[in-house]
Structure 1
């Protein structure tokens, strides 16, 4: 039995095969092959000799081979082949900006959960980075301090709260939309994250002035737009809208703090709802 291998060819993602055949001179004497297979073996052996001589046998052909192709019997790993034999595209690596944004988001999400459950004072930096799955250096790089991280968390909660309230201002009646928006704001005061982060810790951690500035940045524009729509609809008398919006926002914030600190939030919420409704009617 003579073993003949396929001549070296460019392996364009095709797994090479080694074929063992009987040579033409020994095929007829091979006892393990039936007569029909002996004839096939003789033809295959002849084809292999021709291929070796003419396919890659001249210098001109070798020179014409593309330099990037490999002509060795390299086996392609099976993991690189798809179900139909095609190669699988490599996963795109994230950019530095994408990795940085993902790390920042992980820190904010972890800190928000811990601040809401334990408060700012009882949450350590080591616990935050462990919960986020990042290093302590990442916290320092993105925020500098735990206080700045808390500020980012506070703004994240304020942004989410503003979006929830804005979704209720699409009622057919502008005044009805304003009422629903106020109700949604007070309902959010029963959320533990809003209670602990926005209404309890933020004034002391960030300072009263910074807390009010951030609160006004997110809520004031919404209040101005809602009151403007009510005035345009003729449902309340036209008056300077910005001072009125400041007064409404301050009243709602104080009402929310009252609900959050109450031993019976549901009962306090019902009382506050009635007062806010009368306040809006007086406009």
Structure 2
């Protein structure tokens, strides 16, 4: 088993924290090395450039988050429970890493960055999870509308999660989940 690269992990954590507070463009490699407590040599040993670093950050987030969310979905009953549990788990993960929440909201729908391919793969993986949960919660949707609604749902959950964390932290996670469910699964006598 390979030893964890603690310098690499510290660098990725520092990059996420600084980019969330300053923006990626205003975050330099020197700033990241200093914040991570590593030498510039260690930084450049792990990442040749800022583009490579942020690409690796989004790949890491995908590898950490998507399987955990899939496992959560696999344990759900069909119907609205899948969507409710998925939304709740995304919010729990955002709450645990508020800097990452800010970074995801800022970057997930951008396509003009050098790391856009990494972000796009991550976004597509998350949208597929939402598509699966929506198909269970909304059997009235055809595949084309389900995929579009999945991307919209992802954006709504990320944005609402950030709104909750930054401006309304006194609300419970369940209140945020309930509000999102009202948005994504319109009321009808069948869903009551």
TM-score (norm 2): 0.68
- Taking structure 1 as reference, are residues 238 and 114 closer, same or farther at Cα in structure 2, changes over 3 Å only? closer
- Taking structure 1 as reference, are residues 261 and 214 closer, same or farther at Cα in structure 2, changes over 3 Å only? farther
- Taking structure 1 as reference, are residues 242 and 201 closer, same or farther at Cα in structure 2, changes over 3 Å only? closer
- The structure number with the bigger radius of gyration is 1
C-alpha displacement of 1:215: 4.3
Quote the RMSD (CA, aligned, Å): 3.4
Tell me what 1:154 maps to: 58
Match for 1:218 among 110, 115, 125?
125
TM-score (norm 1): 0.49
Tell me what 1:203 maps to: 106
Which protein, 1 or 2, shows the higher relative CO under an 8 Å CA cutoff with sep ≥ 6?
A: 2
Q: Which runs of 5+ in 1 are unaligned?
A: 1-93
Instruction: Decide which structure has greater helix share.
Output: 2
Contact 1:186 1:269 in 2 (8 A): yes
Tell me what 1:112 maps to: 12
Contact 1:154 1:197 in 2 (8 A): no
> Any residues of structure 2 matched to 1:1-283 within 5 Å, and which?
105-115=5-15, 118-120=17-19, 121=27, 123-126=31-34, 128=36, 130=38, 136-137=40-41, 139-169=43-73, 170-192=75-97, 195-200=98-103, 203=106, 208-209=110-111, 210=116, 213-228=120-135, 230=136, 236-239=139-142, 240=144, 241-262=146-167, 264-267=168-171, 269-282=173-186
> Once the two structures are superposed, what CA deviation does each residue of 1:185-237 show, in whole Å capped at 9, x if it has no partner?
11222113xx2134247737x98333862541330121223333x17xxx631
Aligned residues: 170
